[in-house]
Amino acid sequence: MQHKTVASQLVLFRRECLTIPQVAGFADRHCAAIRDEAARCGLAVAGPWIFVSHGLPDNPDQQYWVDFCLPVAPPLDASLADGAALKELEAFSCISETYKGKLADLFAAGYAPLLREAARAGEQLSGQSREVYWRWLGADSPDNCVEIQFGLSRR
């Protein structure tokens, strides 16, 4: 478990209220639309995909808000289509751990150990978490590299 502060960054994003099992299907659709929108507006990609979860539930059938975010360089002038928007992801104080492997094991082998370690250390989580997709080769690839970040509450 690492403690770090992630700098603020400009992202092109779409937001959706989903359950955990719905995320993968919506990610495919939203990420494709965001990539197309960035290309149409001439926005340069400035980093890996970031999925921001607001109030990630313990119950996989409970809905929560997910922002699908693509970091971009600041535009000179961009006209965005409906559904896509630019925003500044604020600086983020967090604990993090990097998971390598298949999507099916992300929660058991990535999230769960980090949450156990955070609980043992007495960390106060903010309710926002992020997944940074440093390498994505498909849901079944053992070579995916996803950084899991849990926001820390200010003490």
Q: pLDDT 10s per residue in the chain (155 long)?
A: 999 999 999 999 999 999 999 999 999 999 999 999 998 888 899 999 999 999 999 899 999 999 999 999 987 665 665 556 889 999 999 999 999 999 999 999 999 999 999 999 999 999 999 999 999 999 999 999 999 999 999 76
- The per-residue pLDDT for 76 is 61
Tokens describing residue 32: 């494709």
In the block, tokens 């400009």 appear at: 10
Angular region, 47: left φ>0, alpha ψ -120 to 50, beta rest: left
- The per-residue pLDDT for 101 is 98
- The per-residue pLDDT for 80 is 64
Please enumerate in sequence order all residues whose Cβ is within 8 A of that of 96, keeping only pairs 6 or more positions apart, or say none.
Answer: 1, 2, 4, 114, 147, 148, 149, 150
Distance of CA 75 to the CA centre of its chain: 22
- The per-residue pLDDT for 79 is 62
- The per-residue pLDDT for 74 is 82
Domains of the chain, CATH where assigned:
2-152 (3.20.80.10)
